[in-house]
Chain A
Amino acid sequence: MARGRNGLNGLALGVLVVCVAISGIGCSSKKKSGDGVYDSSISGQGGAYGGDSSLSQFEQSGTVLGATGDFRDVPFAFDSDQLDSAAMDAVRANASVLQSQADRRVEIEGHCDERGTSEYNLALGARRARAVKDAMSGLGIPADRMSTVSYGEELPLCKDTSEPCWATNRRGHFTDVNR
């Protein structure tokens, strides 16, 4: 899997991104009470997210990062948003990172392989991200430390038409959210 250009995880990059949505200023995002999912009526600069989000990486360099740094990608079966035992292992690992670093916030990205229509996959990616977030909540991570986004099939890690490639693309991917 590709690493970032400078070999560091995206946190250094993320610090440089100017976005103050968490404090509620400027990016017009609101938190829903008790949920922590950023309100869907986001406007302006698009909410808090780090420079290491898959979209930011793609926009800046054309590459999409696999799991880097502390978090593991959560795998999914084809057409599914269920978390099997391998997926729960990854969820548990990621949860323990967040448990040990109480001020760390993440965005969970839902991704799909290229099979299926792009709109349906955008919706499926959202279900995957949500499923991961719910599992993390179940392990005690506060919901307001996690946001979700779906990229559907738009940001694959690899582009071969093979099952191993498709399997790596079906993922819940964690990125750091800057403060």
Chain B
Amino acid sequence: MVEVQRRWIRVFAVGVLAAFMATQAAAQVRGEITGPGASRLPVAVPDLTQGAGANPAAAAAFVKALRADLDHSGLFRVINPMAYIHDAATSGITNASISFDNWRTIGALGLSVGSIEGGAAGLAVDARYFDVANRSMVGGRRFAGTAADGSRMGHRMADAIIEFVTGMPGPFESRIAFISDRGGRFREVYAYTFDGEVRQITNHRSITMSPGWHPTSRSVLFTSFKEHRPMLFSAELGSNADSRIASKMGVNVGASYSPDGRKILLAREEAGNTDLYELDPGSASTRRLTSHWGIDVGGSWSPDGRRIAFCSARSGTPQIYVMSASGEADARRLTFEGDYNCSPSWSPDGKSIAFAGRRQGAFHIFVVPVTGGSARQLTFAGSNEDPTWSPDSRYIAFTGRRGAQKKIYMTDILGRWERQLTDGPGNDSSPSWSRRLN
């Protein structure tokens, strides 16, 4: 496989480290735990020790979120809590008070413990991650919040443990916006969290499309047919209100925020032609970016805001192009295989562009380096569209159809595994992954 050769140096280094770890039971692996032959790090996540004023429901929510995220990351294997030789009531969370031998016995190399008690705001959690072989604490976090924050704290700790072990935080304290008709015939905007919960954001009683997060994750841009023609709206989370983004841009065919949240990149249709524009929502000033007669849609900014990937039919069929953020004069074609490549999404680490490509009639998710080269196919079943990157650039969420209905799925960027995220009635599509919420 091509990616083996590309990652050879890094895999070699990780392999050496992993071998050292296995024979010497040495400290944690640094760098990426990816590449063939790498196995998941076995970890134990016992229940939190409950102190004065602890909220048992919050404690349970914390470990449930933490265990699920570590497993779902593909980086860890959470040992079944039924196997733990551990008494949450009496075990401690410090080096001196942890029985590391008990954890070694069941094969854990990592250990996440913590305590919870009633704090000033409602609850306080002190969570720590240990290297079992070294008998040393790798890192910890203290959280304070209300009793309802247990699960969110668990997601934040999962992201922190992923950071302790790999150097880059995980993505699980984030949200995925998407479109669904689960409530009936109307297609509304919803938000998914890694608790598996889904919250309805809009109530347009029409058709909405193309949600895109503001970088603060506090509001969502989307297209709605509520006013008969597709127009651009913004919805604030936490309020029931949304409002149309006033501009002269008129008919909207999808939009997204710049990385600094100050500008909107949108596709605008006029007199049958669709082109890309940049809108400053504050001043309502606009700048035209493309003016080719062919369809130009689906703009995605690079994380440094200097370039834009987009889908254009200027060469006859829809393909992915990259241009500077100031316009199409230097537009460079990125995809050369297949007759339909669209829906580009630029990774937060700036290195890759994911897109949906049609092969033998079915759509699949691909990733191509920004510098060019062959695209790697990530999905092989059903039909898949609308890729969106996790904030840590390790995962891609997308619309997957494996049967009659569309659902939101998640895959790692090597395409080794995929997981269905949403379930329930109706069709879910068009995901947009927010940044981490902290």
Contact = CB atoms under 8 A, between A and B. Distances in A.
Interface stretch (A4-12, A38-46, A85-93, A97-105): A38-46
Given A117-B342, A119-B253, A47 B229 contact: yes
A58 B207 CA distance: 9
A40 B248 CA distance: 7
A129 B244 contact: no
A71 interface: no
Contacts of B318: 116-117, 120
A42 B253 contact: no
Contacts, number: 126
A40 B270 contact: yes
A120 B295 contact: yes
A45 B226 CA distance: 9
B272 A119 contact: no
B250 A42 contact: yes
Contacts of A55: 206-207, 225, 228
Interface string A12-29: 000000000000000000
A130 B210 contact: no
Contacts of B228: 42, 46-47, 49, 53, 55, 149
Interface in A45-91: 45-47, 49, 53, 55, 58-59, 62, 79
Contacts of B184: 62
A126 to B, nearest CB: 5
A141 B386 CA distance: 40
Contacts of A131: 272
B343 A117 contact: yes
B295 to A, nearest CB: 4
Contacts of A167: none
Nearest to A122: B253
A118 B430 contact: yes
Contacts of B385: 117-118
Interface string B243-270: 0101011110110000000000001111
B170 interface: no
A153 to B, nearest CB: 10
A45 B268 contact: no
A123 B244 contact: no
Contacts of A126: 251, 253, 269, 272-274
A120 B298 contact: yes
Contact of A154 (B225, B249, B272): B225
A165 interface: no
A150 interface: yes
For A42, A43, A45, A59, which residue has the most chain B Cβ atoms within 10 angstroms?
A59
B207 A154 contact: yes
Contacts of A116: 318, 340, 342, 358
A157 interface: no
A37 interface: yes
B311 A58 contact: no
B209 A154 contact: yes
B308 to A, nearest CB: 15
Nearest to B246: A43
A120 B297 contact: yes
A148 interface: yes
A79 B429 CA distance: 21
A167 to B, nearest CB: 15
Contacts of A146: none
Contacts of A47: 227-229
A127 interface: yes
Contacts of B267: 119, 123
B141 interface: no
B35 interface: no
Interface in B167-187: 184-187
A129 B361 CA distance: 25
Nearest to A42: B229
A45 B248 contact: no
A118 B210 contact: yes
For A44, A122, A127, which residue has the most chain B Cβ atoms within 10 angstroms?
A122
B52 interface: no
Given A44-B227, A117-B343, 19 more contacts: A39-B250, A40-B249, A40-B250, A40-B269, A41-B248, A46-B226, A53-B228, A55-B225, A58-B185, A116-B318, A116-B340, A116-B358, A117-B298, A118-B209, A118-B210, A119-B253, A119-B343, A122-B230, A122-B274
Complex A-B, nearest 8 residue pairs according to Cβ-Cβ distance, in ascending order: A40-B250, A130-B272, A46-B228, A46-B227, A123-B274, A62-B185, A119-B254, A123-B295
Interface of B: 184-187, 205-207, 209-210, 225-230, 244, 246, 248-251, 253-254, 267-274, 295, 297-298, 311, 313, 317-318, 340, 342-343, 356, 358, 361, 363, 385-386, 429-430
9 contacts: A58-B185, A116-B340, A118-B210, A118-B385, A120-B297, A123-B274, A126-B272, A127-B295, A149-B228
